[in-house]
Amino acid sequence: MRGAARLAVLLWALVLVSLGAKAEAPLEGRILFRSDLAPESTLRIELGEWAEKERAAVTALFAVLDENVPGVLARAGAAGAISLYRTAGPSPQHPAAAWARRRHEASVIFRDDFFRSGRPNRLGVDYSNWLFVHEVVHLADPVGQIARSREWRALVETRIARVKERLAARGLTVREAMFSYLDAPALEEGLPSVYAALSLHEALSEYAAAYLFGADFAFPEEIAEFLQERLFSAPSPAEITIATAYRKASRLNREGDAAGAEAVLGAALAQVPDFAMGYYLRGYVRLALQDYAGADRDWEEALRLIPESDGRERDDVETARAYLRERLSEGERAEPGR
C-alpha cells in the first residue's frame, strides 16, 4: 500500500472538499473537538475556539488515516477519545504547528499556522499533513511500547548511531543538524529525516509519515513490514491493556488513590512483563504508598527496560531514586538507636 504516494494529494484534496461538509459519522466519539481541557488533562495552555472549517479539515485528515491505516487510529484511541485542542494564538514556547500529548491523555494541540497549507517539507510533502500523521503516530504508541521493542531497536538503532557519527564528524549534534535542515546524512542511512535520528519514538513517527506519503525516499523493506504488522494492523489486547492501564493509574494516583493505581498497574504488568513505563509509573505510586523498597525495585526494572536513548525517562528515574536514597538515609539518622 506504499503506492499511497497519492495520499499526499488526497489529504489536502479531501480537506478542501470537506470545507463545507459536516463531520464524518464513523469518527464520532473517537475524536473530540474541545474548547476546554479534558478532565484527565495535565496541560496548561490557553485554548481558543475551533472555526468550522478547521474542524472539517482535521476531521478529513483523521478520516484518511482511518481509511488507510486503521491500526494507527485504533491504537491512538484505545484508551478513550482523542482530545483535539485549538490554541488561543501562537504559543511561542511550542514552535511546532501541532503537537501531541500521550500517556496521561491522548490529545493533539493545533496552532494557527497548522491551517496555513502549501508549505512543502524536504520530501515535498505538505508540512501540516506530514506533521499531523507524525503526531497521531505518537498517540498510537502512548507508552512507547512499540518504539522501545527489541524489533524496532534492531531495525533503527544502528542507523541512528551512524547518522550521529556522521554529524559528529562535522561537529554537529542531531538538534543542530535539524535546525539547519541537514537531512542528507539521515537519508543516506535510510532514515526519512534528521528528525528521525532524535529518538526511537521520533523515528517511528517519521517513518510512518514517509510510508504514508510515499515520498521520494528509498524506504527500507524490513521497516515497511514492521510498520504493517505492528502499527497499521489492529492492536493486540495487550497493547490496549497497557495504554488503558497507564492512563487510568496515573489519574488514580493524581487523585490520591495510590492503592487503586498500584492494583491497575500490577494487573497490566502481570499480563505484559516488559511494560517499561508500567514499572516507571508504579515506582512513583509505591513511593506515594511509602513502599520504598518496592519503588526502588520498580525503577531498577524500568531502567533495565528503557533504552539509553530515552534520556528524559531515565533521568526521571535516576532523580527519583536519588531522592529515595536521601529520604531513606535521613530516616535512619532520624531514628537513633536502631
- Cβ–Cβ < 8 Å for 74, 97: no
What whole-number distance in Å separates Cα of residue 163 and Cα of residue 188? 9
Nearest distance from C-beta of residue 286 to Zn ion, angstroms: 30
Nearer to Zn ion, 87 or 253 (CB): 87
Shorter beta-carbon distance to Zn ion: residue 58 or 131: 131
29: region left, alpha or beta (phi > 0 left; psi from -120 to 50 alpha): left
Closer residue to Zn ion, CB minimum distance, 83 or 253: 83
Q: Which residue's C-alpha cell is 536502631?
A: 338
Q: State how far the Cα of 203 lies from the Cα of 43, in Å rounded to an integer.
A: 25
**From the CB of 96, what's the least distance to Zn ion, in Å?**
8
SS (H, E, C) 242-311: HHHHHHHHHHHHHCCCHHHHHHHHHHHHHHCCCCHHHHHHHHHHHHHCCCHHHHHHHHHHHHHHCCCCCH
* Identity of the residue, 103 or 286, whose beta carbon is nearer to Zn ion in the bound complex: 103
For residue 143, the minimal CB distance to Zn ion (Å) is: 15
Residue tagged 534520556 (cell numbers): 311
Return the bridge partners of 34, or none.
Answer: 85
Which CB, 205 or 241, lies closer to Zn ion? 205
Nearer Cβ to Zn ion (174/272): 174
Using CB under 5 A as the criterion, which residues of the chain lie in contact with Zn ion when the complex forms? 202, 205
Reading the block at residue 282, the C-alpha cell is 508504579
Distance CA 78, CA 54 (A): 25
Residue recorded with cell 497521531: 136
* Smallest distance from Zn ion to CB 254, Å: 25
Least spacing, CB of residue 38 vs Zn ion, in Å = 21
Q: Smallest distance, Å, CB 223 to Zn ion? A: 17
Decide: 307 and 150 in contact? Cβ < 8 Å: no
Smallest distance, Zn ion to C-beta of residue 312, A: 13
Spatial distance between the Cα atoms of 120 and 129, rounded to a whole number of angstroms: 9
Question: What's the min distance (Å) between Cβ of 147 and Zn ion?
Answer: 11
Q: Which is nearer to Zn ion, 205 or 253 (CB)?
A: 205
Q: Which helix (H) or strand (E) holds 83?
A: strand 82-86
Nearer to Zn ion by Cβ, of 202 and 310: the residue is 202
At 110, which helix (H) or strand (E)? strand 107-110
